[in-house]
Amino acid sequence: MEEVVIDAKDMHYKELNEKIHEVLRKNPDVKKIILKNVLGQRFIGTGLQKKDLTIEIYGIPGGDLGMFMNGPTIIVHGNAEFAPGNTMDDGTIVIYGSSGDVTAHSMRGGKVFVRGDVGYRSGIHMKAYKDKIPVLVIGGRAKDFLGEYMAGGIIIVLNIDEKGNDLGKVKGRMIGTGIHGGAIYIRGDVDRDQLGVAADIKEFTKEDLEKIKPYIEEFCKWFNLSEDVKNRLLNSKWTKIAPISKRPFGKLYTPDLM
Amino acid sequence: MIPSYVPPKYKVEVDPNKCMLCERCTIECSWGVHRREGDRIISYSNRCGACHRCVAMCPRDAITIKENAISWRSHPLWDIDARADIYNQAKTGCILLSGMGNAKEHPIYFDKIVLDACQVTNPSIDPLREPMELRTYIGKKPKQLEFDFVEEEIDGKKIKKAKLKTKIAPNLKLDTPIMIAHMSYGALSLNAHLSFAKAVKECGTFMGTGEGGLPKPLYPYADHIITQVASGRFGVNEEYLMKGAAIEIKIGQGAKPGIGGHLPGEKVTAEISATRMIPEGSDAISPAPHHDIYSIEDLAQLVRSLKEATRWKKPVFVKIAAVHNAPAIAVGIATSDADAVVIDGYRGGTGAAPKVFRDHVGIPIEMAIAAVDQRLREEGLRNEISIIASGGIRCSADVFKAIALGADAVYIGTAAMVALGCRVCGRCYTGLCAWGIATQKPELVKRLDPEVGAKRVANLIKAWTHEIKELLGAAGINSIESLRGNRDRLRGVGLNEKELEVLGIKAAGE
Ligand code: SF4
Ligand code: SF4
């Protein structure tokens, strides 16, 4: 049995998550778990380690979806609550709707694709180490404080609506406050006064485009976007936001031995 | 460049009659105080922080370090520190950094509390003859125990057997109520951590990782280690959470309540970067709040997420700084599925804190323990959660008093470092610790032998454990359980009525 369906109707989150563990324990070969009638159950996929596992969720999962997750793919046919991908290690989260605040919080690896919008403080404190480079791709827009204290990884904001049309200039404020690693790519123009302290607008180069291209292509594939839309996204004007320095607050404190 | 204006705080003198010019001091001093010039050792006193490494290592006892008080005009208000800080800030325009805990002369309540002892009635117990129970369990305790009675046939007879129905939450089992506090790898050297790890294993107790992740060489000791999750989430992944014996969420720290941590990029070496899982040379910033915690419900969510990630098998602690609101926060923590609340007082040390925080923010740990214990009792929650106290525990009497005021166990930080040789010189933030404790420089780190360090720390814990047994015996108690929150065993000396009331103790003579 490679596919298992769990009806989550009226289930407490502990019960649901225990069910998932039980399925995996009893049947290590299972490749897909389908969760029906999910309504706010938290911590789905938290700490799961299995690389070849896909969890499909119908409904709205609760907070901390896929927290500390290492490997699986989670597909949400609906919106997600706050902090999907919190401190995630590896794997993929695909959200067909929008997601709440602190999406991809402290993410350390893997990818999160959100078709709609994300809430406040998304991508906050994402970090990278060696080949672990977390990626957050947002189809619509982000609320304020996107990429705050970002320490590594890539955030991409596509700025399109459900049909793939332009949403106009992004509105978020305090983008990249305290950023000291990684980069935020926003399609379209961003004013300097939308940036937070320690963030800077850097030249968007060919290398940057090469870097983000595979993730945009993957986004289009997940959400079935046409070649036209994809090409338009790739050929748009992009703004790159990156740290002024790796040590934004280095000068704030007393130097060693004055 | 703006000149410093600050005269040396200490005066270093090398007695030429004793010195044999071995030049050891020039190597031992990581601050560059000593230098050989011709047939003399010249000392730059202005670089000296009185860490005493040269004094301790000089084979001829030729070095003297004194406070350099004479160079200042004395003044009751504008003391040396106040003036020196202004000169330094006028020079740099920076936030002053400092190490270790609050250095102000606030009353030390531990020293104004005395212990009671038995005389004739309820006689004292001889711990050499009688067993003294110091075993402590940290974690949730059930409100009551429920049993199922099942009939079993044994040898043809029907016997009713009681089986425990209540599910007991996972607890940490301590042989002594003394643990080693969370100090991060990064702030401390690997050899300091190894010393602690070996010592806690030997003593049947636990140490904390701090927020720097768990370095690989510590893996063999992981079942004696409490891992920490701070706002920076450094080194936190599923493996890290599963490895430790328990998990601690750090909300606040006694040395710097209300602010986060910041390990400057130049200290993020290859090893530190591998443990924290961030690139080399990049700042390791833990902002003041956790990004996902803006309410007590959010905190409960993080507690539960850590429990979920570890399949509800590990106790989760929440550490807060001792602040006046600690009792209300502790109630919130107690209702959140957390297993222990850690209260860290303002004497608690740190590798680096803005001096203004270290010296002026937070409240004494003695008051905080008593107030938290009292409030949890009033709410009927005290038995649901353990209390761990930390921040300025200097001796076994402090441990004893902390437990009598309401703690289950204590964390020691500075005391464990002093056991390793630390001189509380307060310059840990420079990363140049000459004792190899608060540094990552390989040549300094290797000065601390983890075997010797472990022995010294284990000796300290064992010595205090013996003393606690003696104190228990004197109090006519044979188990630490009976001491917890037993404020009747304490009396205040030189405290006003309000202070006695907050501490919940009587005045001496009462
Ligand atoms: S260590 Fe002592 S004896 Fe050796 S050079 Fe220094 S002061 Fe002289
Ligand atoms: S750890 Fe080192 S630098 Fe810090 S106070 Fe102790 S001796 Fe001084």
Task: Give a three-class secondary structure readout of B92-130.
Answer: HCCECEECCCCCCCCCCHHHHEEECCCCCCCCCCCCCCC
- Output the residue whose Cα is nearest ligand 2's atom 6: B422
Q: How far is A107 from chain B (nearest CA, A)?
A: 9
Residue B490 in domain: yes
Q: Do B305 and A252 count as a contact with CB atoms less than 8 A apart?
A: no
Pick from A126, A244, A258 the residue to mutate for testing the B interface (most B CBs within 10 Å).
A258
pTM for the whole thing? 0.93
The answer on whether B94 is annotated among ligand-binding residues is no
Q: Name the β-bridge partners of B387.
A: B341
Set of chain B residues whose Cβ sits within 8 Å of the Cβ of A69: 238
Residue B284 in domain: no
Mean pLDDT along residues A97-108: 96
Strand B353-354 to B97-98 pairing: antiparallel
Q: Do B233 and A125 count as a contact with CB atoms less than 8 A apart?
A: yes
DSSP A197-218: TTEEEE---HHHHHHHHHHHHH
Q: Count the neighbouring beta carbons within 10 Å of the beta carbon of residue B289.
A: 15
Task: Give a three-class secondary structure readout of B449-503.
Answer: CHHHHHHHHHHHHHHHHHHHHHHHHHCCCCEHHHCCCCHHHEEECCCCHHHHHHH
Residue A201 and residue A192 in contact, taking contact as beta carbons nearer than 8 Å: yes
Residue B279 in domain: no
Residues B75, B186 within the same domain? no
> Dihedral, CA atoms, B99, B293, A134, B228, nearest 10 degrees?
50
d(CA B215, CA B209): 9
Q: How far is B82 from chain A (nearest CA, A)?
A: 16
Assigned CATH for A98-243: 2.160.20.60
Mean pLDDT along residues A91-97: 98
Q: Do A253 and B308 count as a contact with CB atoms less than 8 A apart?
A: no
Residue B1 has what pLDDT? 61
Q: Which of B233, B285, B309 sits opposite A46 (nearest CB)?
A: B309
**C-alpha torsion sign, points A11, A12, A16, A21:** negative
Q: What residues contact residue A210 under an 8 Å CB cut-off, 6+ apart?
A: none
Q: How far is B160 from chain A (nearest CA, A)?
A: 33
| C-alpha radius of gyration, chain A, whole number | 19
Residue B388 and residue B413 in contact, taking contact as beta carbons nearer than 8 Å: no
Ligand nearest to the backbone CA of B101: 2
Set of chain B residues whose Cβ sits within 8 Å of the Cβ of A178: 285, 287
Q: Do B354 and A253 count as a contact with CB atoms less than 8 A apart?
A: yes
Residue B188 alpha carbon, nearest atom of ligand 2: 1
Set of chain A residues whose Cβ sits within 8 Å of the Cβ of B8: none
The CB-side HSE value for B415 (13 A sphere, CA atoms) comes to: 23
Residue A258 has what pLDDT? 64
Final residue in a domain of this structure, among B94, B111, B139 = B94
| Domain chopping of chain A, boundaries | 98-243
CA-closest candidate to residue B6, choices B68, B63, B66, B76: B68
- Output the residue whose Cα is nearest ligand 2's atom 2: B433
Q: What residues contact residue B440 under an 8 Å CB cut-off, 6+ apart?
A: B186, B189, B267, B269, B271, B272, B431
Residue B233 in domain: yes
CA angle A149, A154, A160 (to 5 degrees): 110
Q: Name the β-bridge partners of A75.
A: A56, A94
Pick from B9, B256, B282, B439 the residue to mutate for testing the A interface (most A CBs within 10 Å).
B282
> Dihedral, CA atoms, B227, B228, B232, B235, nearest 10 degrees?
0
Task: Could you list the beta-strand ranges (E) of B128-205.
Answer: 136-138, 147-154, 157-164, 172-174, 178-182
Distance (Å) from CA A123 to ligand 1 centroid: 55
- Output the residue whose Cα is nearest ligand 2's atom 8: B425
Q: How far is A43 from chain B (nearest CA, A)?
A: 6
Residues B226, B347 within the same domain? yes
Residues B59, B187 within the same domain? no
Residue of B nearest to A147 (CA): B291
Three-state secondary structure call for residue B275? helix
Task: Spell B176-214 as b/e; 16+ CB within 10 A means b.
Answer: bbbbbbbbbbbbbbbbbbbbbbbbbbbbebbbbbbbbbb
CA-closest candidate to residue B460, choices B196, B224, B244: B196
d(CA B341, CA B339): 7
Q: Do A68 and B309 count as a contact with CB atoms less than 8 A apart?
A: yes
Residue B362 and residue B257 in contact, taking contact as beta carbons nearer than 8 Å: yes
| pLDDT, tens digit only, all 510 positions of chain B | 677 788 888 999 999 999 999 999 999 999 999 999 999 999 999 899 999 999 999 999 999 999 887 667 888 899 888 998 999 999 999 999 888 889 999 999 999 999 989 888 888 999 888 999 999 999 999 888 899 888 888 888 888 888 899 998 999 999 999 999 999 999 999 999 999 999 999 999 999 999 989 999 999 999 999 999 999 899 899 999 999 999 999 999 999 999 888 777 878 889 998 898 888 888 888 888 888 898 999 999 999 999 999 999 999 999 999 999 999 999 999 999 999 999 999 999 998 889 999 999 999 999 999 999 999 999 999 999 999 999 999 999 999 999 999 999 999 999 999 999 999 998 998 889 999 999 999 999 999 999 999 999 999 999 999 999 999 999 999 999 999 999 999 999 999 999 999 999 999 999
d(CA B276, CA B295): 27
Domain carrying residue B89: 10-94
Kindly list the distances between the CA atom of residue B434 and the CA atoms of B11, B353, B446, in Å, as whole numbers in the listed order. Answer: 18, 20, 11
Q: Do A254 and B96 count as a contact with CB atoms less than 8 A apart?
A: yes
Residue B103 in domain: no
The gap from C-alpha B460 to its chain's centroid, in whole angstroms, comes to 14
Residue B18 alpha carbon, nearest atom of ligand 1: 3
Cβ of B260 below 6 Å from ligand 2: no
Cβ of B428 below 6 Å from ligand 2: yes
Percent of chain A with pLDDT over 70: 98
Structural domain count of chain B: 2
Residue B401 and residue B373 in contact, taking contact as beta carbons nearer than 8 Å: no
Chains A–B, number of C-beta pairs less than 8 Å apart = 139
Domain at B248, CATH number: 3.20.20.70
The gap from C-alpha A235 to its chain's centroid, in whole angstroms, comes to 23
CA-closest candidate to residue B262, choices B184, B342, B356, B363: B184
Final residue in a domain of this structure, among B94, B123, B151 = B94
Q: What is the pLDDT of residues A16-39, one digit of tens each?
A: 999 999 999 999 899 999 999 999
Set of chain A residues whose Cβ sits within 8 Å of the Cβ of B95: 252-254
Domain at B88, CATH number: 3.30.70.20
Residue B214 in domain: yes
Residue B71 has what pLDDT? 66
Residue B281 in domain: no
Residue B144 in domain: no
For B446, counting Cβ atoms within 10 Å of its Cβ (0-12 exposed, 13-18 middle, 19+ buried), the class is exposed
Residue B236 and residue B212 in contact, taking contact as beta carbons nearer than 8 Å: no
Residues B489, B346 within the same domain? yes
Q: What residues contact residue B208 under an 8 Å CB cut-off, 6+ apart?
A: B179, B180, B181, B182, B183, B225, B226, B227, B228, B248, B411
Amino acid at A88: M
